[in-house]
Structure 1
């Protein structure tokens, strides 16, 4: 809030504000108040000439034109008919009317006495108290707003973290389900192949037994092989898209070559972790990676084309 706005809010008239800022070169509120209280007579004299009445005056001041003209030479102030307060000019009366909603004023011959040093100090003190109170109210409002903003930020961050964790869990489940399905299809295909081989062996044994007994050997049609679903050729991946969740809940991602050794992953996580010793674990399927896995490729460890690991810190580590 500017200096002029503060003075307006305190009830000072515009001519007082202009005089304090432009003539008095006041740089702060205390200087402006001191200038206004010290030069109130000069300010009033400078604005009295040529000013027109802006408020309704009581009928006691309007008798005849002659008497009014004579009385105007003796008018030293305006008096509020509703509260009895003396006001030095019409501008001050206007400001008083705006603050109090009083509307009836009379011309008065009583002169307003200049403020004493004690009165000036008392006025400054009251104004300063109002300023301090207003700033305190604003500070409380700002602190309350800051608390609400922080609550909203924490709530938004928590929601984003939950969404991120849910997405990662879903991705891990999809990867695990795809691996399980591929493994099952491979096992079924292998089982069908074994059953077909056994059927062929039985047919050959029956043919040999018939020939040995001298019986007529009929062309026994080879057992019709059951339809064996040929598994789709396994796609060869050259890269491993790996995500690792750190102990603080954050997740880091990196793309490695499929032929990279696991120790390269450990070195990369060690740069991100920078804390006590740790191991990497896989939730699904459950697996803890140890030193024996460091020289194995990511393909051998089943982490291609993608994998999701977690950092497990070692609470007790002996060197």
Structure 2
């Protein structure tokens, strides 16, 4: 099989022609070349048209641009390699005609400044577009090539590799700037790109800061609204507690007045002088005295008993809460199982009972208001089956539940 490439024995690079081998030798000082049947890859990017000579080069192009689709045209361009260096045409008359004819048919890619080409490829331009821009801008500078691309980006052949006759004077394609001027121009372009990147980063940071401020304000406003709602809720609870306290005191006052009037009647004393009280008071008292007030009185006594218990042990909320829950358990067991004798009998000397309820002033009194009575020498609290009153037990359960759940019970 005929050789289709030259392979560098020092680094393994495949080269398409003798000219490329010479350039490789000048750049790397490698001199060990041999013919090879391996073809130089020709992977063309489907997106931008950039040709890649190897898998490594295509991977680098993908990493830099994000383009992943390549067309393999290696076999289309593969042909036996010529080991002869092209010679200049003879000046003879006969030879001039033949050389002119052959060179007019041979078109080659124009030579451009390789450093500028690498710079443009690093900026994301395809090899064909970068070569065309450098060729038609006279290899003047990187900025001139970029300006040419901007002006001709809508050309249909913008991504086609330019071709020129082989006898074109290559000197015309060399950059007109000195190396120092070219280096300064490249530095200027890099500085512009750096400043543009910094400005973009600053703008992005400003946007992020604005977003952080906006989110912070929203969180503060949400917290303020939550605190305001909590404050209103607490005020409403305190108001309800005060109203409950006022109604309870009013009922107790009315009951005291009724008891006082009843005692005066039993003693045969005349009614209290109406000049010391409101004119409407006797009528109201007379009406209330005719109503069955016994259940309401017991409920109020239960509430007052619980309030007194909490006031006496206000420095130990855990003990008060445990006592309320224990009382609720005793009352609930009897209400749920009125026929079970074990729930209607409590040993007063039981240590657990003493720690939770018995030793607390008001605990045993509350159970007696529910219907329990001391029996058997005062050792037990017993509620006989015929003394089980579901209305009283339910009222006691409601009062205990309110005392447990209401954080302001007995405080105001």
Q: TM-score range with shorter-chain normalisation?
A: 0.3 to 0.5
Whichever of the two has the greater Rg, that structure is: 2
How does the TM-score come out when normalised to structure 2?
0.33
How does the TM-score come out when normalised to structure 1?
0.41
Q: 1 or 2, which has the higher strand percentage?
A: 1
Structure scoring higher RCO (CA < 8 A, sep ≥ 6) equals 1
Q: 1 or 2, which has the higher helix percentage?
A: 2
